[in-house]
Amino acid sequence: MPFLELFALLMGNASGLEQSMRASVEREAPLEQLQLAPDLDIEVLPFVIEGSVENFDPIEKAKELAKKLSGKWCGTYSSFNDGSKFDVTLLFSQVDFIGQIVDVRGEIFIDGLRAKVRGNINAKSNQIELIVISDQLIVDIDPGSVFLGLEGMKSLVIKSSRLNNLGGRLDLFDIDCD
């Protein structure tokens, strides 16, 4: 049995014309009334986009940041666990750039306790990550914890290596702190 005959059986007694025509066609406006008025002139003007979308070179920015980044930062660490605050000194002994990333190494002193830090700054996004390299607990900062900053060095939060440690906030400034 051909497909169309089978389809006709499934459709019952309705004719093909009745099945394909919508009931609302009678109420729709004629096509001539839907066209735009002939007195409207639409003019399309050509345009040219010049230059690149991104107006800075992140590799050049990383070079400049590596040269100008202060080697000494001071501030406070505020614990989210108990609200206590401690004085902080962050010293960078090595600052290099690798592509658009600035690699930093140094030491952090919190409440007189010392730990090595290593991290990087993304020159394109201005995000920073500093890993605390220590084998002992410093205040409430666990070994292997990571300081994260989304807007450079001014304010960082710590992501603890333990789930039951709430971490804290590191607020820094790069002026003389002696």
Query: Domain locations in the chain?
Result: 58-173
Split at pLDDT 50, 70, 90, the class of 116 is very high
pTM summary value: 0.65
- CA atoms of 118 and 123, how far apart (whole Å): 16
pLDDT of residue 6: 54
pLDDT at 104 over 70: yes
Distance of CA 65 to the CA centre of its chain: 20
Which residue has tokens 């960078």?
Answer: 92
CATH architecture classification, 58-173 = Beta Barrel (2.40)
pLDDT in tens, 73-89: 999 999 998 889 999 99
- CA atoms of 102 and 66, how far apart (whole Å): 6
Which of 125, 127, 121 minimizes the C-alpha distance to 104? 121
- CA atoms of 166 and 178, how far apart (whole Å): 30
- List the structure tokens of 82: 């108990």
